[in-house]
Amino acid sequence: MVAVIIIVVVVVLLGLLLVGAYNGIVRMRNQVDNGWSQIDVQIKRRADLIPNLVETVKGYAAHESGTFEAVVAARNATVAANSPAQAAAAEGPIASALGKIFALAEAYPDLKADANFRQLQSEITATEDRIAYARQFYNDSVTRYHNKIDTFPGVAIVKMGNFPHRELFEADDTDRAVPKVEF
């Protein structure tokens, strides 16, 4: 009788351990999905600010159409990105295009003094900071998730559910390039 009770207790404890490990992996998978959603929200916020910025700058520098087209094309690429790899590939061009827009302010003092331009520039800069934080949170979440599903007992539980590896949000080559500074 005692042996049966011990076996039942061990089976129940193993069952609870498996349920707890499975639920932990599900929570981590959901945290990864949430992290990606936060990146997506901030990228869309930046994309919504860009048309206003372009219109403000157009009023001062209408002949800079190549710059405006590059900004719009880069914006559209970021909005169309559906995965971390696509979003990372779109980040280099958008950062470059926004840099060109902000550089125009140096050539046009009236633009630099425009309150609407300064407000939009400030909002985009704050949004860039939020995107960087969201990327870090996402990558941290993905790393914890991978650690959980690649170690025991997670590796055994992964076979019971849908727990694929996720992509890290990695900088592309243009983001890694060291800027050239000349005086």
Q: What confidence tens digit (pLDDT) does each residue in 98-149 have?
A: 888 888 888 888 888 888 888 999 999 999 999 999 999 999 999 999 999 9
- pLDDT at residue 43, rounded to an integer: 93
By the 10 Å C-beta count (0-12 exposed, 13-18 middle, 19+ buried), 46 is classed as buried
pLDDT mean over 69-96: 89
- pLDDT at residue 177, rounded to an integer: 52
- pLDDT at residue 180, rounded to an integer: 52
- pLDDT at residue 170, rounded to an integer: 85
Beta-carbon contacts of residue 45 (< 8 Å; ≥ 6 apart): 127, 130
Task: Return mean pLDDT, the chain.
Answer: 88
Residue, of 28 and 99, whose pLDDT is higher: 28
Helices (H), the chain: 2-58, 65-80, 84-107, 109-113, 115-150, 154-157, 173-176
Task: Decide which of 3.30.1490.190, 1.10.4190.10, 1.20.1440.20, 1.10.645.10 is the CATH code for 33-146.
Answer: 1.20.1440.20
- pLDDT at residue 181, rounded to an integer: 44
Which pTM was predicted?
0.81
